[in-house]
Amino acid sequence: MIEPAGPASEALASLQFVDHHVHGVVRENPSLESFTHMITESDRTPTSLDEAMNSQVGFATRRWVAPLLDLPSSVSAREYFDRRIELGADEVNRRLLRASGIGHYLIETGLKGAEIHGLAGMAELSGAKVNEVVRIETVAEEVARAGVSAADFATSFMSALIDQSKDAVGLKSVVAYRIGLDFEPTPPSGLEVEAAAGRWLAEVAASGKARVTDPILLRHLIFAAATLKKPFQFHIGFGDPDLYLNRCDPLLMTDLIRDFEKRQIPVMLLHTYPYQRNAGYLAQMFRNVYMDVGLAVNYTGARSNAVIAESLELAPFHKILFSSDAWGLPELTYLGALLLRRGLGELLDSYIARGDWSIQDAISVVEQIGRDNALSVYGLRS
């Protein structure tokens, strides 16, 4: 861990975070190929472990995570991986999750769930509270695989979503991955939905694969899910290369945000890099918009302080949340929390030292971003 250097850093060091968007960790020891894939955000597996770790996230892993596995800081990539395998997945998961200082996880369960721990497993490994966030596209794809007519698709989806989200604290859409954020921000008609469902279900029957990409259906899923009035998470910006980053700017969602504001639905802009300044503008302009810079913090390592600082330029402090958006590797969960503590602590302590902020104001912002904003918007108790 990093030794606190000022009042804000000290407050962050002892604060139990709420991670408002995260996924489970892997159940089994990853293969060398699997690990090199997961430590990057690209779906193009690096040619070697050294190549995979030759990055900010790789250096941060070797510097900050290695000591938690009883290794020297900045050990070689191969020594790090070998020790990880020697300890085993359960022990590595337990050590890193518990060292993160995260006391409450909001877990999005819709991505490759068979490979990772679910709610119960994450609770046992971390010793923390857990709640679920439901991915709406996954629900639709499950309905399609189970067998449904085009005429019954809309009703069956809504029934399944209500059932699966009855205990969930929020919903999530990956429409950015499927068609980008520049979609028509209005609900389609019932006839349009039935016709689109017919085309899609025929493709599912022919291919055996269910991945919803039709713009009409994706719009329907979003507006149908909106009737549940739960906080609604949207992937923004940085992600796998199957998205078009130029179509993931949250400014493209302005009309949808206006609609959701009228419905009093919180819009949670996830990750946001490299659009964190645009997200901050939206958070200032609209009552219902919240943001984080999760995922980007993990992957920018020693430069994450710059990303964190930019996220605080315009967004009101009660609109900024912490997330790690880690999937699979607990290293990413741990680094998300560690680097946020470091970057935010250094930034706010510099404000205090210059006389720009009081200690009390800085500690209040620490508590808001790390814990209180998530508790408030998701209706949780600490």
pLDDT in tens, 132-156: 999 999 999 999 999 999 999 999 9
What per-residue confidence (pLDDT) applies to 253?
Answer: 98
The H-assigned helical ranges of 168-313 are 175-178, 190-207, 215-226, 254-263, 276-285, 296-300, 304-311
Task: Calculate mean pLDDT across residues 176-199.
Answer: 97
Residue 319 half-sphere exposure, CB side, CA atoms within 13 Å? 24
Task: Calculate mean pLDDT across residues 75-98.
Answer: 98
Give the confidence band of 382 by pLDDT, cuts at 50, 70, 90. Answer: low
What per-residue confidence (pLDDT) applies to 47?
Answer: 86
The closest alpha carbon to 295, from 246, 233, 251, belongs to 233
Give the confidence band of 5 by pLDDT, cuts at 50, 70, 90. Answer: confident
Give the confidence band of 127 by pLDDT, cuts at 50, 70, 90. Answer: very high
The H-assigned helical ranges of 15-76 are 32-38, 49-52, 56-60
Coil vs helix vs strand at 74: coil
Task: Calculate mean pLDDT across residues 93-118.
Answer: 94
Percent with pLDDT over 90 in the chain:
93
Task: Calculate mean pLDDT across residues 225-241.
Answer: 95
Q: 243 to each of 40, 43, 93, 231, 273, how far by Cα in Å?
A: 15, 11, 29, 23, 14
pLDDT 10s digits, 256-289: 999 999 999 999 999 999 999 999 999 999 999 9
What per-residue confidence (pLDDT) applies to 41?
Answer: 81
Residue 252 half-sphere exposure, CB side, CA atoms within 13 Å? 19
- Does the pLDDT at position 3 exceed 70? no
Give the residue extent of every domain in the chain: 7-28+96-377, 30-87
pLDDT 10s digits, 336-359: 999 999 999 999 999 999 999 999
- Does the pLDDT at position 1 exceed 90? no
As given in the structure block, the two tokens for residue 299 are 């992957």
Backbone angles phi, psi at 213, to 5 degrees: -130, 0
What per-residue confidence (pLDDT) applies to 68?
Answer: 98
Among 19-33, 63-77, 101-115, the range scoring the smallest mean pLDDT is 101-115
**319 residue type, one letter:** K
Give the confidence band of 251 by pLDDT, cuts at 50, 70, 90. Answer: very high
- Does the pLDDT at position 2 exceed 60? no
What per-residue confidence (pLDDT) applies to 287?
Answer: 98
Q: Which CATH architecture best describes the domain 7-28+96-377? A: Alpha-Beta Barrel (3.20)
pLDDT 10s digits, 31-76: 999 999 899 888 787 889 999 999 999 999 999 999 999 999 999 9
What per-residue confidence (pLDDT) applies to 197?
Answer: 98
What is the sign of the dihedral through the CA atoms of 233, 239, 243 and 244?
Answer: positive
Taking the C-alpha atoms of residue 129 and residue 250, their distance in angstroms, rounded to an integer, is 30
Taking the C-alpha atoms of residue 234 and residue 228, their distance in angstroms, rounded to an integer, is 16
Residue 283 half-sphere exposure, CB side, CA atoms within 13 Å? 25
Which residue's structure tokens are 């508790």?
375
The answer to whether the beta carbons of residues 245 and 238 sit under 8 Å apart is: yes
Task: Calculate mean pLDDT across residues 186-204.
Answer: 98
pLDDT 10s digits, 302-315: 999 999 999 999 99
The answer to whether the beta carbons of residues 193 and 217 sit under 8 Å apart is: yes
Taking the C-alpha atoms of residue 322 and residue 346, their distance in angstroms, rounded to an integer, is 16
Task: Calculate mean pLDDT across residues 235-248.
Answer: 91
Q: 205 to each of 200, 339, 368, how far by Cα in Å?
A: 9, 46, 48
pTM of the model: 0.96
Q: What is the 3-state secondary structure (H, E, C) of 293-308?
A: CCCHHHHHHHHHHHHH
Residue 38 half-sphere exposure, CB side, CA atoms within 13 Å? 25
**b/e map 176-210, b = 16+ CB within 10 Å:** bbbbbbebebebbeeeebbebbeebbebbeeeeeb
What per-residue confidence (pLDDT) applies to 239?
Answer: 85
Instruction: Give the gyration radius of the chain's Cα atoms.
Output: 21
What per-residue confidence (pLDDT) applies to 240?
Answer: 83
Mean pLDDT (the chain) is 96
What per-residue confidence (pLDDT) applies to 11?
Answer: 98
